Amino acid sequence: MPFDRALKIAPSILAADFANFGAECRAIEDQGADWVHIDVMDGHFVPNLTFGPPMVKALRPHVKTVMDVHLMIAPVDPYIEAFAEAGSDIITAHIEAGPHIHRTLQAIRAAGCKAGVALNPGTPAEAIAHLLDLIDLICVMTVNPGFGGQSFVPLEGKVATLRKMLGDREVHIEIDGGVTPKTAPGLVTAGADVLVAGSAVFKGGSVEDPAPYGANMRAIREACD
């Protein structure tokens, strides 16, 4: 995964057809997705239940780009090895999910994955000031995690603060929640370079008719140019 700051679209399969995940992953990549974003929820840290390591492992053969695995679970540490062995390229953990975030990030890197840290909307940028040399990605939640399709929380100022804090470090800033052609441009201007989008990518399309996926992603990119 060579680092670059070119804008990346990472469709969230939480908005895909649950009966056709493998085909959906292939479809979004064929239509121009840069990464595939997998939201893992435990029904404890967030009020929803989604996927575990077996699903990640099952999807790995269908994902040719970057498998971006976002763990909205607590505790995190006991599951890092399983998600790494399942084929994750990036594993992101929430700073709010436990008391030992340094240990978590070190464990992710030790497992051979890129390490991400996620911030809920109410968590300030300064909360990760001491983590900047341990991470490869910051995931800024622009909704409260747990469900797709929530209302967007405007946090362009937070993104700008993080970009300034990072300096020249090779760390991605990812936005997760409510990304659309309307909300994306301000976030990219502020410093984001990875956009997670669920319904904004998958709306109007299907495995049988994936062209709308490409059109939706192009609309986000063009809005940010």
Active-site residue set: 39, 176
Task: Indicate if the alpha-carbon torsion angle 36, 37, 42, 43 is positive or negative.
Answer: negative
Rg (alpha carbons) of the chain, rounded to whole number: 16
Q: In 98-112, which positions are buried (b, 16+ CB within 10 angstroms) versus exposed (e)?
A: beebeebbebbbebe
Backbone angles phi, psi at 154, to 5 degrees: -70, 115
The amino acid occupying position 133 is: D
What's the half-sphere exposure (Cβ side, CA atoms, 13 Å) at 164? 9
Q: How far is CA 158 from the centre of its chain?
A: 17
Block residue for tokens 């622009």: 142
Reference 191, options 159, 225, 155; nearest CA is 159
In degrees, rounded to 5, the angle at the alpha carbon of residue 81 between the alpha carbons of residues 77 and 86 is 130
